[in-house]
Amino acid sequence: MSFNLKVGEIKKTYLTEQEIWKIINQFFANGHFTTTYKYGLMKALIENLYNVDNRLVLTFDQVYFSFAKIYWNLVIHHDLNQLNTSNRQAGIQKELKEFQLMHGVPNKVVFDRLPSNLQLQLVERTKKVGARYVVGALYGDMEGSVYEFDKRTEYIKFNSSIYFFYKNIDKLLLI
């Protein structure tokens, strides 16, 4: 299972636009989803397209800041279940709800309104969950073509073909 991977290398560096669309379509059509984590990580990556360094690298902190914000607003602010069954909660939901109770944060508070120290604590908590389960799972579902990663050094590096493809269509992706 790819979610267990500690390191993932890009399997094919050059991809045509047609190959990229095929990978994306297969992800949405054939992916195994019990939670929304992989969608959340994909959105976080797309939100950070303009934050990469000159090697197309993002740190886990950058990615999981967006991931924490996405999930806080879905789970706490909008009270949306993140598991495809109504009688259980996804791990990220449990983490966020515990955090909310521990700090007495009302449901109406969006992530951007949280004090910065609480935001950073949330990033650390979501990074643990995401690094453990999601980075490798999305990597596998996208055929190892979108990015490479290393959990020990906490980085994600875009495949340049994917990066420039996403940048060309980012306005459509973030609607």
pLDDT class of 31 with cuts at 50, 70, 90: low
pLDDT class of 101 with cuts at 50, 70, 90: very high
Neighbours of 18 (CB within 10 A): 8
Give CA–CA dist 111/100, Å, rounded: 11
Q: How many domains does the chain have?
A: 1
Q: Give the pLDDT mean for 129-149.
A: 90
pTM for the model stands at 0.88
Of 12-26, 34-48, 71-85, where does mean pLDDT reach its minimum? 71-85
Give CA–CA dist 38/28, Å, rounded: 10
Give CA–CA dist 121/65, Å, rounded: 10
Domain that residue 132 falls in:
2-173
